[in-house]
Amino acid sequence: MREQPLGEIRFATLARAAEGLTQWRPLLLCFLTLLLTGALIAGAAWMLVKAGFFMYLIFMLAAVVALLAGSSGVGIMLMDKARNEPVRSFSAAASAGLLCLPKFLLVGLAIFVATLAYYLLAAVIYFICKIPVLGGILAFVAHPILVLVAAALLIAMIWVVGPLMGPALWSGLSVKAALANVLSIARKRLVEVVLMEVVLYVILGLVCVMLFAGLVPATVSLTGMAMSITGDGSMAGMFMGGGYGRGYGGGFNPMGMMGGGSTGLIAGLGVLYCVVGALLAQVAIMGMNLIYLQARESVDPAEAEGALDSLIGDVRKKAEEAKAQTMAAAERTMAAAERAKQAASERLQEATAKPSATDTPPGTDSNASAGTATAAAATAGAAAAAAGLTAATAASTEQAFAEQQARERAAADAAEKARQSAEEATARQRSEAEAARLRAEAEAARLKAEAEAAEQAARERATRERAAAEAQELAARQRAEAQAAERAAQQKAAEERAAAQAAEEARQQAEAERLKAQAEQLARQQAAEREAARARAEAEAAEKARQAQAAPSCPACSAPVAANDLFCGECGNKLK
């Protein structure tokens, strides 16, 4: 798969983190979660004083459950918003967040087991490093590698696995699929995710600085003043630096906080800071969801789950190999214990037979004389007595008898000590062999139980994955139906808009034709008027010509004259 380069990181996506502030249902759930968690913690502190440590643990466990379930519900709602899907209802998000708790427990258990396995591997390597010469060379090479690997895993845990495991589970994935996706992101896009989270943390840090720069001084000053006025001088001293406390009542009195004014002040401050914390948590969770969705674009879920399955298969294969090696070692230990038992019995027989074998005359059965330790001691005493009688030329009978008894007691004590030491060695070897066998059986039973638990967990995961797949398929089918209905509505609206546009075009065309007809009629009227004017002008001209032709003229100069003129006005010719 093509890895996303650094140039394609979309930091502008984090601008959508502010959309978390516009969602009132996640904001309300976050506020109620923080309020309930704070109330349970306060109840736990009260139970520690009144009811004991057991009730304190119960209340603290309830506080942890409420915090994790409520945070998961908020994350699920904001994940719907980040994916531009309809945000689910308040009750559905709360129940889904409560169902996420077993998933988080399984993830924590898997992380603990992986950490323990890594440290066991490191311990084995360090034990090998105890070899005199080669151990130092191996430590010189292995220790920095172990430190670097542990540092890389810790960085991935802090910056990728920890922040992104929640969004992965909130998106509806199973524990296995979420682990596979997050581990694939940590392997391929560690730097990109770290950069995005740094930018998000800078934004959150600036927001916190701006908010608490005013909240903290105002809280300290006004709370101290309120405590001093309402009568709780010790609390006022805590908030105002000690001056008010010493001036208004001395030392800290826990029962003074149960007064009406103090209780109201502390409760009001708790509600105020729960609101502020809910606002900041909205931005942080929305930002983490956006970072996860952007990082998941370059991850193939099938490839990630295949890599995780291969890793689990390798671990299971190594566990089976370790089991086989443990059983072989147990068998070798039992065989060694049996050989040690036989060797101890042989040494015991040699120890009991050795004193009598030195003084037995020829022709006597040596096996019969070495039957018991008492017979051997008696034979040794007899030989010593015979030697004493041979050499007792200057000693008395009583001294010889005393020496004989002392030698007999010494021989008997030596034989008894040899027998006891042989029995102790045999018993010790038998107990060690029995302990080795019991350890081997316990290890085999533990490995078998772990294998059965892993198979049961695999079956449960498969069942949950099938249920999740069915739910996702149903949701996808519902989304497809909704999208089809939306497309049908959009197509219908487009058809209506097209019909309206066609009607508007027809109306405009009819209006244009009407205007054209009016223009043609006006043109015809103007042409008729011009024709009438021309006809009138022609008639007037003809009338003038006719009149001109009918008017009398002077016969002498042809000048026009009136009908009643007697003389021509031009030439003076007499007309009549």
pLDDT in tens, 252-270: 444 444 445 677 788 888 8
Lookup result for tokens 């009978």? 397
List the domain boundaries for the chain.
7-299
Check pLDDT > 80 for residue 98: yes
- What are the tokens at 530? 């011009």
C-alpha dihedral (433, 438, 439, 441), degrees to nearest 10: 130
Mean pLDDT over residues 74-90, rounded? 83
The token pair that represents 501 in the structure block: 């546009």
What letter does residue 84 receive in the DSSP assignment? T
- 171 by Cβ neighbours in 10 Å (0-12 / 13-18 / 19+) ranks as buried
- The tokens for 534 are 């021309």
Q: Residue 145: its pLDDT value, please? A: 93
Tell me the pLDDT band of 342, cut-offs 50, 70 and 90. Answer: confident
Long-range CB contacts (within 8 A, 24+) of 458-467: 461/174, 461/175, 461/176, 464/174, 465/174, 465/176, 465/177
Lowest mean pLDDT, pick from 45-59, 178-192, 252-266: 252-266
| 554: three-class secondary structure by DSSP | coil
Ranking 47-51, 81-85, 371-375, 542-546 by mean pLDDT, the lowest is: 371-375
pLDDT of 243 higher than 60? no
Higher pLDDT, 496 or 564: 496
Phi, then psi, of 566 in degrees rounded to 5: -95, -30
Is the model's pLDDT at 316 over the cut of 60? yes
Q: Quote the pLDDT of residue 258.
A: 47
Q: Are 333 and 414 in contact (CB under 8 A)?
A: no
Question: pLDDT exceeding 90 applies to what percent of the chain?
Answer: 3
**Three-state SS string across 170-219, please?**
HCCCCHHHHHHHHHHHHHHCHHHHHHHHHHHHHHHHHHHHHHHHHHHHHH
Lowest mean pLDDT among 269-283, 362-376, 451-465: 362-376
Q: What is the pLDDT of residue 374?
A: 39
Each residue's pLDDT tens digit, 376-417 = 443 344 344 334 433 443 344 455 556 666 676 766 676 677
Of 150-159, 177-186, 413-422, minimum mean pLDDT range: 413-422
- Whether pLDDT at 535 is above 80: yes
Q: What average pLDDT does this structure show over 73-81?
A: 86
Quote the pLDDT of residue 25: 82
- Confidence (pLDDT) at 246: 41
- In 3D, which of 460, 470, 468, 472 has the Cα closest to residue 106? 460
User: 439 CB contacts (<8 Å, ≥6 apart)?
Assistant: 330
Cβ neighbours of residue 174 under 8 Å, at least 6 residues apart? 103, 461, 464, 465, 468
Reduced to 3 states (helix: H, G, I; strand: E, B; else coil), residue 574 is strand
Report the distance separating Cα 19 and Cα 26, nearest Å. Answer: 11
The top-scoring range by mean pLDDT among 105-109, 430-434, 563-567 is 105-109
Q: Is 312 exposed, middle or buried (0-12, 13-18, 19+ CB in 10 A)?
A: middle
Q: What confidence score (pLDDT) does residue 116 get? A: 92
Number of neighbours of residue 417 by Cβ within 10 angstroms:
11
Structure letter (DSSP) for residue 149: H
Return the pLDDT at 369: 37
CA dist 203 and 12 (Å) reads: 12
* Side-chain half-sphere exposure of 450, counting CA atoms within 13 A: 12
- Interatomic CA distance for residues 353 and 330, integer angstroms: 35
Question: Taking a C-beta distance cutoff of 8 angstroms, is the pair 20, 289 a contact?
Answer: no
Residue 272 reports pLDDT greater than 80: yes
The values of phi and psi at residue 3, to 5°, are -80, 145
Question: What one-character DSSP code corresponds to residue 567?
Answer: B
Per-residue confidence at 301, pLDDT binned at 50, 70, 90?
low
And the tokens for 231?
């009568």
Nearest-angstrom CA–CA distance, 167 and 116: 26
**How does DSSP assign 274-321, residue by residue?**
HHHHHHHHHHHHHHHHHHHHHHGGG--HHHHHHHHHHHHHHHHHHHHH
User: Which of 5-14, 51-60, 332-341, 521-530 shows the lowest mean pLDDT across its residues?
Assistant: 5-14
Distance CA 184, CA 353 (A): 74
Other beta carbons within 10 Å of 48 = 16
pLDDT tier at 148 (50, 70, 90 boundaries)?
A: very high
> Between these two residues, 313 and 56, which has the higher pLDDT value?
56
Average pLDDT (277-287) is 85
The model's confidence at residue 356, banded by pLDDT at 50, 70 and 90, is very low
**What is the rounded CA–CA span in Å between residue 203 and residue 18?**
11
Integer-rounded Cα Rg, in Å, for the chain is 55
Helices 90-128, 162-170: axis angle to 10 degrees equals 140
Q: Please, what is the average pLDDT of the chain?
A: 75
Q: Which two tokens stand for residue 543?
A: 């009338």
Are 386 and 378 in contact by the 8 Å Cβ rule? The answer is: no
Q: Which of 39-43, 90-94, 166-170, 205-209 has the lowest mean pLDDT?
A: 90-94
Q: Which residues pair with 325 in a beta bridge?
A: none
What mean pLDDT do residues 238-258 have?
44
Q: Please provide the distance, in angstroms rounded to a whole number, between the alpha carbons at the two ends of the chain.
A: 132
Among 31-35, 121-125, 190-194, 346-350, name the one with the lowest average pLDDT: 346-350
* Percentage of residues of the chain with pLDDT beyond 70: 70
- Residue 465 is predicted with a pLDDT of 84
Q: How far apart are CA 428 and CA 396, in angstroms?
A: 48
Write the CB contacts of 118 (distance below 8 Å, at least 6 apart in sequence): 149, 150, 153
Instruction: Report the alpha-carbon distance of residue 331 to residue 436 in Å, rounded.
Output: 9
Tell me, what's the pLDDT at 318? 65
Tell me the sheet residues that pair with 574: 567
- H or E element: which one contains 527? helix 397-550
